[in-house]
Amino acid sequence: MQPTCASFAAAAAATIALAVSCRQSTPAAAIDPALASCVPSDALALAGVNLEQLRASALYRKLPPGAAPFLEPLRDASYLLLAWNGKDVLAIARGTFREPPAGAVLLAKDLAVSGSPEAVRVAAAQRKTGQTGARWLLERAAGPAASPIWAATRGGVAYPLSGNAANLNQFLRLVEYASIAVRLDPDIRLEAVGAGRTPESAQHLEETLRASFSLAAAGVSRDRALADLLRSVQVEREGLAVHATLSVGPELAGKLLGWIAP
Give 166's pLDDT tier (boundaries 50, 70, 90): confident
Rg of the chain in Å (alpha carbons) = 18
**pTM tops 0.85:** no
Please write the tens of the pLDDT for every residue from 35-83. 999 999 999 999 999 999 999 887 787 777 777 778 888 889 999 999 9
Overall number of domains in the chain: 1
* Range of the structural domain that residue 185 is part of: 5-260
